[in-house]
């Protein structure tokens, strides 16, 4: 009986230890210095803003407020977030302006002494409301907020380079041109989820990069916000992003088929993903043996998300 008790105590202790380990702060993407993760801005309604129920008859003023936190690494600057109320009539709730911008930067997460520090909580997205008319009976409304914001994901990978790509490998080589490469991404919903490398001629290396939307929102071209006064669907901008691939000092040179031989341009996602093929010209290199170098892969986009709640307008007796 005692042995069973000891086993039970040991098992519970082990569970507590593992739980404590799991609750420790993230230490970012190992080897790349990124916070990592697939989140960007997360939002929720402030407690009692809006309340669960309000009275009709122009008698009950209330607020609709969003609390927003940046879980990714890109800082959303002032005016780079646009929030639009949906699901209700503005005149019924006396909403003066249905779309609002952030009035202060929403700072991204960062690494400090190997630990992730989250900052940038804001409640500046706030609407004043009051139901104007009379309802014949208590009525529930699905109140939602679409929010669109500019974001950026920085990615890289351990690419193997050498002048003569067709050179026979040697035992002392420190890397191999062929195969899947270790990849790192800054925190954000759009990610370079894999990079494959292979030779493509005497002085050419081919990079095959898979871009994926790993969040729950929609991706839009970065020009979306400059052309929109409301955060609503715009089909001609949807599932598009800007991408640039380069090495330090533009050496070696990178060209991509999808960008008509340039190293930057527009990528269109299909079912939330797209493969981009680029080539690295190694003819300018002078090193006799292969070495590892990390390219800068930058994804620029606008991300659109949604949050909702219910508000019941109660019939007043006055």
Cα gap 160→295, rounded to integer Å: 11
In the chain, what are the domain boundaries? 41-149+306-314, 152-304
CB atoms within 10 A of CB 54: 20
User: What is the value of pTM for the model shown?
Assistant: 0.87
**Of residues 191, 118, 114, the one with CA closest to residue 151:** 191
Token readout for 183 is 């990849």
20-46: buried (b, 16+ CB within 10 Å) or exposed (e) per residue? eeeeeeeebbeebebbbbbbbbebebe
pLDDT tens over the chain, length 318 residues:
444 444 444 444 443 333 333 333 333 465 788 999 999 999 999 999 999 999 999 999 999 999 999 999 999 999 999 999 999 999 999 999 999 999 999 999 888 877 888 876 776 899 999 999 999 999 999 999 999 999 999 999 999 999 988 888 888 999 999 999 999 999 999 999 999 999 988 899 999 999 999 999 999 999 999 988 999 999 999 999 999 999 999 999 999 999 999 999 999 999 999 999 999 999 999 988 899 999 999 999 999 999 999 999 999 876
**Topology at the third CATH level for domain 152-304:** Immunoglobulin-like (2.60.40)
H or E element in which residue 22 lies: helix 2-22
Q: What is the dihedral of CA 74, 76, 80, 81, to 10 degrees?
A: 110
The C-alpha atoms of residue 74 and residue 71 are separated, in whole angstroms, by 9
Residue matched to tokens 């916070």: 35
Domain boundaries 41-149+306-314, corresponding CATH code: 2.60.40.10
Domains 41-149+306-314 and 152-304 share a fold: yes
Give the pLDDT score at 17.
37
Predicted confidence at residue 16, as pLDDT, reads 39
75 C-beta neighbours (distance < 10 Å), count: 17
């Amino acid at each position: 009986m005692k042995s069973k008790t000891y086993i039970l105590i040991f098992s519970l202790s082990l569970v507590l230890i593992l739980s404590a380990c799991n609750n420790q702060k993230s230490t970012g993407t190992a080897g790349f210095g990124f916070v990592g993760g697939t989140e960007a801005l997360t939002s929720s309604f402030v407690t009692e803003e809006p309340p669960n129920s309000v009275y009709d008859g122009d008698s009950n003023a209330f607020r609709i407020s969003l609390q927003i936190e940046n879980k990714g690494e890109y800082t959303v600057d002032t005016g780079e977030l646009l929030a639009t109320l949906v699901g209700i009539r503005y005149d019924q709730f006396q909403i003066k302006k249905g779309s609002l911008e952030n009035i202060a930067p929403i700072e991204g997460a960062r690494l400090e002494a190997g630990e992730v520090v989250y900052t940038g909580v804001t409640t500046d997205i706030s609407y004043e409301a009051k139901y104007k008319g009379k309802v014949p009976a208590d009525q529930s409304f699905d109140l939602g907020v679409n929010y669109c914001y500019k974001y950026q994901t920085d990615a890289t990978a351990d690419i193997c380079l050498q002048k003569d790509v067709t050179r026979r490998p040697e035992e002392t080589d420190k890397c191999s041109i062929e195969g899947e490469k270790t990849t790192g991404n800054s925190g954000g919903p759009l990610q370079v989820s894999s990079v494959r490398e292979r030779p493509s001629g005497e002085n050419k290396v081919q990079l095959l990069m898979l871009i994926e939307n790993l969040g729950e929102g929609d991706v839009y071209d970065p020009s979306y916000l400059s052309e929109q006064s409301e955060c609503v669907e715009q089909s001609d901008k949807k599932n598009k992003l800007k991408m640039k691939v380069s090495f330090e000092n533009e050496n070696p040179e990178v060209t991509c088929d999808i960008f008509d031989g340039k190293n930057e341009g527009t990528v269109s996602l299909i079912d939330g993903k797209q493969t981009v093929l680029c080539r690295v010209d190694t003819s300018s290199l002078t090193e006799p043996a292969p070495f590892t170098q990390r390219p800068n892969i930058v994804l620029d986009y606008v991300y659109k998300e949604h949050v909702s709640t219910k508000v019941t307008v109660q019939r007043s007796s006055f």
